[in-house]
Chain A
């Protein structure tokens, strides 16, 4: 193809003018837009209770995967449970940020023990933890159990050990905790929520 110098300039100028017009908004486009896609569409929804305080707000935890064998689920979003009578979907700033609490690097994930005189915490198994706690409780109770008071009245008190319960408990677990603790004679029962 033969293009003279003058024709080449004309072609270039024409192209420049057309693209300028298009870029200046003269080219009609479809008025389309898109919202961010809804991120919970088929996520697994699990109900639970907020672990922070004694209000005991209901939460909905959303995790990756639909429960299939080959999918490893991990929680990526938490919001209030609108069907829970306590909070009806609302959450305080601590509850609203629970997902970062779940994935926190500082989160304690297994039992640890600091032996008398030791400076370091040492990881132990759940079985060992239960056994050690039971052993300590039994020894202390055997040594300090108060069966009768000064007047000879049967009181069955165990005053040297207390129990601190978690707040993320239903009424039923609260009832069970109370049964267990009181049947041992323990008086000092408290809840993490008051700390």
Chain B
């Protein structure tokens, strides 16, 4: 099922601009309504089942989080938080995984041409055969999502079920969600639906309810409806204003063209020196050749 190159928006470490004629592709989005999530982990199971992943069976760490963290075999995890808000205990459960940023830090940081692709519909996908296992994407990700596999030294993360979406289906986690807390559709529709949810929550004692679609990464294609949008940190340290690390921006933004210019200048200088001054000749006084 080879994709036509026009379906690609961006490609890691590639100076060539991909063809962008298909500009009418619908941008997709997954909306996770944290307020209606019951933490059943059906999404985790459906993800593992569809993607043929089976993580090692871990041990109980005293909380519901299981597995305790994302891994190369676990592309989504529920993170459970007990917090006290407005004098009440609240159990805030967030489904963590790739946010599919419009401006992906992983793609920006990746040095291997074509290892990370952003499709025209917004999905950010890893191409394992081009992955060199350097782990730069991990440092480039503002959400700490990609994980390096110890088995094959390649990095893995949620694909937003790109294989299902490409044939017109919803991701596996969305389909299975029993409470309808995970929804899928066009980014426009999901934003509108989130607006309705937020309005409803505001009348139910959550005046700070809101949509999490951070502008610092150009918006995301996985969005959250939060009861406390003013304090995203309550949800296992969700960042208030996530941005790509300035080091990655500097290295891949400003320094890259400068380094290229320096590289080319060194080559050009060598050539001009050869033309103008000529190659180094051995000194006749050296007498080594005669010896």
Residues of A within 8 A of B (CB): 17, 24-26, 28-39, 77-80, 82, 87, 89-93, 95-97, 99-100
Is the beta-carbon distance between A36 and B163 smaller than 8 angstroms? yes
Q: Which residue of B lies closest to A28 (CB)?
A: B16
Which chain A residues border B1 with CB–CB below 8 Å? 34-35, 37-38
Question: Which parts of B84-104 form the interface with A (CB within 8 Å)?
Answer: none
Q: Which residue of A lies closest to B175 (CB)?
A: A89
Question: Which parts of B7-22 form the interface with A (CB within 8 Å)?
Answer: 8, 11, 13-16, 18-19
Contact of A90 among B19, B125, B175 (CB under 8 A): B175
Is the beta-carbon distance between A33 and B8 smaller than 8 angstroms? yes
Which chain A residues border B19 with CB–CB below 8 Å? 31
Is the beta-carbon distance between B49 and A93 smaller than 8 angstroms? no
Asked if B127 is an interface residue, CB under 8 A from chain A, the answer is yes
B253 CB to nearest A CB, Å? 15
Which chain A residues border B45 with CB–CB below 8 Å? 93, 96-97
Interface size bracket, B side = 35 or more
Which chain B residues border A100 with CB–CB below 8 Å? 49
Which chain B residues border A26 with CB–CB below 8 Å? 15
Asked if B46 is an interface residue, CB under 8 A from chain A, the answer is yes
Question: Which parts of B149-180 form the interface with A (CB within 8 Å)?
Answer: 159, 162-164, 166-167, 172, 175-178, 180
User: Which segment, of B36-44, B207-215, B234-242, faces chain A?
Assistant: B36-44
Query: In the complex, A107 Cα to B159 Cα: how many Å?
Result: 33
A31 CB to nearest B CB, Å? 4
Which chain B residues border A38 with CB–CB below 8 Å? 1, 163-164, 166-167
A46 CB to nearest B CB, Å? 17
User: Which segment, of B25-33, B67-75, B113-121, B190-198, faces chain A?
Assistant: B113-121
Asked if B64 is an interface residue, CB under 8 A from chain A, the answer is no
Q: Which residue of A lies closest to B115 (CB)?
A: A33
Closest 3 pairs (CB-CB, A-B) = A31-B18, A96-B45, A33-B117
Which chain A residues border B178 with CB–CB below 8 Å? 87, 90-92
B58 CB to nearest A CB, Å? 16
Is the beta-carbon distance between A80 and B175 smaller than 8 angstroms? yes
Query: In the complex, A96 Cα to B42 Cα: how many Å?
Result: 6
Is the beta-carbon distance between A31 and B114 smaller than 8 angstroms? yes
Is the beta-carbon distance between A91 and B113 smaller than 8 angstroms? no
Asked if B251 is an interface residue, CB under 8 A from chain A, the answer is no
Is the beta-carbon distance between B46 and A91 smaller than 8 angstroms? yes
Is the beta-carbon distance between B113 and A29 smaller than 8 angstroms? yes
A8 CB to nearest B CB, Å? 15
Asked if B3 is an interface residue, CB under 8 A from chain A, the answer is yes
Query: In the complex, A159 Cα to B120 Cα: how many Å?
Result: 67
Taking A90-B175, A92-B42, A93-B40 as known contacts, 6 extra A-B pairs with beta carbons closer than 8 A to each other, sorted by chain A number, are A25-B113, A31-B8, A89-B175, A89-B176, A90-B178, A95-B176
Is the beta-carbon distance between B14 and A29 smaller than 8 angstroms? yes
Contact of A91 among B2, B5, B48, B176 (CB under 8 A): B176
Is the beta-carbon distance between A35 and B46 smaller than 8 angstroms? no
Which chain A residues border B41 with CB–CB below 8 Å? 93
Which chain A residues border B5 with CB–CB below 8 Å? 30-32
Which chain A residues border B267 with CB–CB below 8 Å? 17
B213 CB to nearest A CB, Å? 24
Q: Which residue of B lies closest to A89 (CB)?
A: B175
B174 CB to nearest A CB, Å? 9
Is the beta-carbon distance between B3 and A35 smaller than 8 angstroms? yes
Q: Which residue of B lies closest to A35 (CB)?
A: B162
**Can you list 9 pairs linking A and B with CB atoms under 8 Å apart?**
A17-B267, A24-B263, A33-B127, A34-B127, A35-B3, A35-B159, A93-B45, A96-B46, A100-B49
